[in-house]
Structure 1
Amino acid sequence: MDDRLVILGSKGGPAIRPGGPNPTSMLLTLGGRHIVIDCGLGVTRGLVETGLSLKDLDLVFITHLHSDHVLELGPLLHTAWTTGLSKPVTVYGPEGTALLWHNFLVSLDFDIRTRIADEGRPDLAGLVIVREYGEGPVLEEGTMIVSALRVDHPPVTDCFALKFVQAGKTVVLSSDTAYFPPLSDFAAGADLLVHEAMLPEGVESIIRRTGNGARLREHLYASHTLAADAGRLATQARVKKLVLNHLIPADDPAFTEADWRQALASVWSGPLVVAQDGLAIPF
């Protein structure tokens, strides 16, 4: 299969609404590897819809432990197991990922023990290897190199942008972050930069709908990146293609793709993709 990124969930934040997109998850196919990045609600169904057999799960990367990035990690691995997974899957995540996985196994202990005894399945715990990472090198395997950059996503400290390099191709994912200029060096010359994005008008719309007022506004502006700033960073980094993802807002019909493109019109002149669930992006 050709190198591509499939957006499985394009929404920023954990809430879901009728007919709206799913929270964050992606499938990166690179050099023949199938790499799941983040596991928000809907990741399992989204993967199946791409045509990937869950038995072929290979690598999973978690950028940070907010629920819209990890809520379906355990269910994804469990569902792959019930589908016939028989070879190990390695999960890379920040500190706390191993505890998250352990507690999922505890919560499903009855089901797992019952299926092992009744259906002859292998022990699920033995099929999942969790490796916790910090800033710097994460994985070097064959011709693939993965590295991490700590980004600015308060109050979360362990939140990481990820860079995948394989056979001359580079893909960088910002994770959740406020505008963070060091990302331009980290992503320099990348074939694909996937960056979170927020519309200021959309923030006000969200506040009106949720009623959290000034506190929510303060969090969003302290922890996330305006779309225009994502475009500025992509220009500074001279990336070949920019993808806006983890959209805030992503499920408000008052805002369309035209609004996102208009927000970047003066700061980014290269190829631009505005994420949608199920969208496949070749590079």
Structure 2
Amino acid sequence: MIDRRTALKLTLGSVAALTAPAVFAQTQAKPRTKMVFLGTKGGPRVGVGPSNPANLVVVNETPFVIDCGMGVSHQLASAGVPLESVKYIFISHHHSDHNLEYGNLVYNAWATGLSTPIHSFGPKGLEAMTKTYWELNKFDIETRIEDEGRPDLRKLLIAKDITEDGVVLQTPDVKVTAFRTPHPPIMDNFAYKFETPDGVIVFSSDTSYNPKLAEFAKGADVLVHEAIYLPWVDRLVTRVKNGATLKKHLLESHTAPEDVGRIADAAGVKVLVMSHLVPGELDVTDEDWRNEAKKAFKGRIIVARDLMELKLPL
């Protein structure tokens, strides 16, 4: 079992365990582009095992956070990333395991010294959610502005609803493109493509099996795709009261590992990373996940675990 406080560094197909999280400010042999899988367990349940969904892309020391499940602030700190250095946040869809710590991440960054803007992007409702967060925390924010001399946090977070597919952010180093993919009953749900100087990374978001996602990810260096282990679903439904309803939802809104492999194969990606694992605990082994995906994809397959790190170029 991998300790959540232990970072794993993946380079050129080898895996080297670190005795402590990588230091964000370290300059020696620092990659220009890297990914950190902050939270790899799918679903809203919070436990002592893997953290809820969140990912990080760092390009030229600029952090891009993808999804904000519970624990994202702690996981960023564990990865050695100063919270006040976060510049961009992307929310894939409005399920709680993807947006529950959105406002709190920004607040926590402010508490550690944030003084520069954060730009956030997500499906329709993100702007309203941001406004509501300010209303919820009005007393605390205004008290700390007065008592502690902090800048007004409400002016530092710039939220933008995404209403259609296409480029949502272009910086000198990174282009981010959104692509709507179905996650029934949620249809306002976006996969994201990050085009960096060192390669292309695609995050599937939660999604049912969607061959069009392979077109979106065509030729990517890394595809990070969610996965659900079907035999586990059959076991689960015998243990919960809402088993039949839950099973229907899970099967209609997520992708089995073999189908994940089909997407990776059709896209011709260099590396497939399975994350947002359901179940996220170690009920299912890494080999179980890989063996299913290998039925359709013969390339390199990584089963993500919390604080695992991947450098680009591969």
Q: TM-score, normalised by structure 1?
A: 0.96
Q: Is the 8 A contact 2:218 2:269 kept in 1?
A: yes
- Residue 98 of structure 2 corresponds to residue 72 of structure 1: no
* 1:63 shift after superposition: 0.7
> Is the Cα–Cα contact under 8 Å of residues 138 and 147 in structure 1 kept in the other structure?
yes
Contact 2:34 2:309 in 1 (8 A): yes
Which position in structure 2 is the counterpart of 1:83? 112
Q: Structure 1 segments of 4 or more deviating over 3 A?
A: none
The question of 1:173 aligning with 2:206 is answered no
Question: What is the letter of the counterpart of residue 214 of structure 1?
Answer: A
Which residue in 1 is equivalent to 2:7? none
1:24-173 alignment to 2 at 5 Å?
A: 24-133=53-162, 134-167=164-197, 169-173=199-203
Instruction: String of CA shifts for 1:71-104, please: whole Å, max 9, x gaps.
Output: 0011110011011000001011111001111111
d(CA) in 2 for partners of 1:125 and 1:170?
33
Distance in 2 between residues matched to 1:143 and 1:15, nearest whole Å? 36
Deviation at 1:31, TM superposition (A): 4.0
Contact 1:8 1:24 in 2 (8 A): yes
1:210 is paired with a residue whose SS is: coil
SS in 2 for 1:267: coil
Aligned residues: 281
1:278 aligns with 2:307: yes
1:238 aligns with 2:261: no
Structure-2 separation of matches of 1:49 and 1:196: 23
2:283 paired residue among 234, 241, 254: 254
Q: Aligned residues: percent identity? A: 42
How well do the aligned residues superpose, as a CA RMSD in angstroms? 1.2
Q: Partners in 2 of 1:267 and 1:52 — Cα distance?
A: 36
Q: Which deviations, in whole Å up to 9, do the C-alpha atoms of 1:159-199 show, x marking residues without a partner? A: 01100112251100000000000011110110100000011
SS in 1 for 2:182: coil
Aligned counterpart in structure 2 of residue 201 of structure 1, from 211, 217, 231: 231
**Please, which runs of 5 or more residues in structure 1 have no aligned partner?**
none
Whole-angstrom distance in 2 between the partners of 1:142 and 1:177 = 30
Structure 2 segments unaligned to the other structure (5+ residues): 1-29
Counterpart of 1:49, as a letter, is S
The residue number in structure 1 matching 2:40 is 10
Q: Provide the secondary structure at the position in 1 that maps to 2:111.
A: helix
Cα distance in 1 for partners of 2:223, 2:60 equals 18
Q: Which of 292, 297, 300 is equivalent to 1:268?
A: 297
Name the aligned partner's letter for residue 281 of structure 1.
L
Cα distance change, pair 226–51 in 1 and its aligned pair in 2 (3 A): same
Specify the code of the residue in structure 1 equivalent to 2:57: L
Letter of the structure 2 residue corresponding to residue 24 of structure 1: P
Native 8 Å contact 1:31 1:166 kept in 2: no
Higher helix proportion (structure 1 or 2): 1
